[in-house]
Amino acid sequence: MSDTARDPLALAEDLIVRAKAAGADAADALYFESVSLSHSQRLGEIEKLERSEAQDLGLRVFIGQRQAIVSTTDHGDEALGELVDRAVAMARAVPEDPHIGLAPADLLATETQDLDLIDTEEPAPEVLIERARAAEEAARAVPGITNSEGADASWASAHIALAASNGFGGTYRSSRHSVAVAVLAGEGLDMQRDYDWASAVHGGDLPSAAEIGRSAGERTVKRVKPRKVKTTKVPVVYDPRVAGGMLGHLSSAISGAAIARGTSFLKDKMGETIFDPAITVIDDPHRKRGLRSKPFDGEGVMVRRRALIDKGRLTTWLLDLRSAHQLGLQTTGHASRDTTSPPSPSATNLYM
């Protein structure tokens, strides 16, 4: 194993030097290390307790207007040399793409905020077991609940490092705690199912597992013997889950990739009012302890809080470098990626 393997950012930077020496005009490298612990149970019986660890390294090389991406989990010198050779050879063989490239220096993130994204204490397996137990027991204790599909509790942490030949280098860590439970109410053809869950960067920010369980049970019981509403015209207050689904559809419809392909129903609506003027939709990558917060995007570009919908009006697309170039615009810092594929636009902490 190479000495740089101990430092993710140094490892990524070393890979770029190798790629340039092998004939690449430009390159970037993404390191992703993850550790996770998960537990599930049903009717009080443990079904799973797993721990996993992974270290992935992805290299993207550019030769002219051609690019190729190769990834590996082997960080030894010989494996990295083979990785570089494969990436350069592939980049010479693929078709040209006039819209690819690295970010110019003036768009790169040069300062990073403390977003408090890492809970440094890994929970013991007993902590996850207790969270799942408390959630399932509280859900089953709700009058009317007849069965359980089980409860899950998990924890994960990630270390991300990105380096590029345009001079960018950045790294950050994040963590996530989650609890979920699903139960059933009613009998036979009247049986209904529902669930509840919660996630937080820090374990101390999670609602109590019993609270999550009670909510799941109460949601499920409310589904039993539903009544049909007469056709009428009335104001509607959306459940947060429905509102969240609407935001998901919105983010897909304003993705720069969909706009560039002409496949979005909002492709001609920029600047128009598409929601009630009372509605504003914010995307905030700098939200402290946010589940999708980050100090820079997947291309090293600076990120910032944006009103995607301002008093009902559509103000921007979600753009990475490629979709921005296709549309003759500037990236909005919404590139997201993993070690095996090129960047694509994606929202961060989206709320209405």
Give the model confidence (pLDDT) of 34-92 as tens digits: 999 999 999 999 999 999 999 999 999 999 999 999 999 999 999 999 999 999 999 99
Q: Specify the pTM.
A: 0.90
* Percent of the residues in the chain that have a pLDDT greater than 70, as a whole number: 98
- What is the residue type of 93? A
Tell me the pLDDT of the chain averaged across its residues. 95
Give the pLDDT score at 98. Answer: 96
- What is the residue type of 229? V
Rounded Cα gap, residues 8 and 325, in angstroms: 30
Rounded Cα gap, residues 52 and 36, in angstroms: 5
Task: For residue 267, give both structure tokens.
Answer: 């492709």
Q: Give the model confidence (pLDDT) of 107-144 as tens digits.
A: 999 988 899 999 988 999 999 999 999 999 999 999 99
DSSP per residue, 68-122: EEEEES--SHHHHHHHHHHHHHHHHHSPP-TT--PPPGGGB-------------P
Checking if the pLDDT of 153 tops 80, the result is yes
Task: For residue 337, give both structure tokens.
Answer: 């990626």
- What is the residue type of 60? R
Rounded Cα gap, residues 301 and 320, in angstroms: 9
Checking if the pLDDT of 5 tops 90, the result is no
Task: For residue 187, give both structure tokens.
Answer: 């009998």
Task: Find all residues with CB under 8 Å of 199, minimum gap 6, and list them.
Answer: 176, 177, 178, 206, 291
Rounded Cα gap, residues 345 and 249, in angstroms: 14
Q: Tokens 């003036």 map to which residue? A: 106
Checking if the pLDDT of 2 tops 70, the result is no
Give residue 229's pLDDT band: very low, low, confident or very high (50, 70, 90): confident
Please say whether the beta carbons of 99 and 322 come within 8 A: yes
Give the pLDDT score at 190. Answer: 87
Give residue 340's pLDDT band: very low, low, confident or very high (50, 70, 90): very high
CA pseudo-torsion sign 218, 223, 225, 229: positive
Please say whether the beta carbons of 177 and 145 come within 8 A: no
Measured in degrees and rounded to the nearest 5, phi and psi for residue 257 equal -65, -40
332: alpha, beta or left? (left if phi > 0; alpha if psi -120 to 50): alpha
- What is the residue type of 153? A
Strand partners, 194: 183
Please say whether the beta carbons of 135 and 183 come within 8 A: no
Closest among 34, 36, 75 to 57, alpha carbons compared? 75
Q: Give the model confidence (pLDDT) of 178-220 as tens digits.
A: 999 999 999 888 899 999 999 999 999 999 999 999 999 999 9
Element (H, E) at 283: strand 281-283
Q: Tokens 């790169």 map to which residue? A: 108
Closest among 351, 337, 347 to 292, alpha carbons compared? 347
Checking if the pLDDT of 3 tops 50, the result is no
pLDDT (mean) for 15-40: 97
Domains of the chain plus CATH, in order, are: 3-107 (3.30.2290.10), 125-161+172-222 (3.30.2290.10), 240-351 (no CATH)
Give the pLDDT score at 6. Answer: 66
Task: For residue 240, give both structure tokens.
Answer: 């947060």
Checking if the pLDDT of 1 tops 60, the result is no
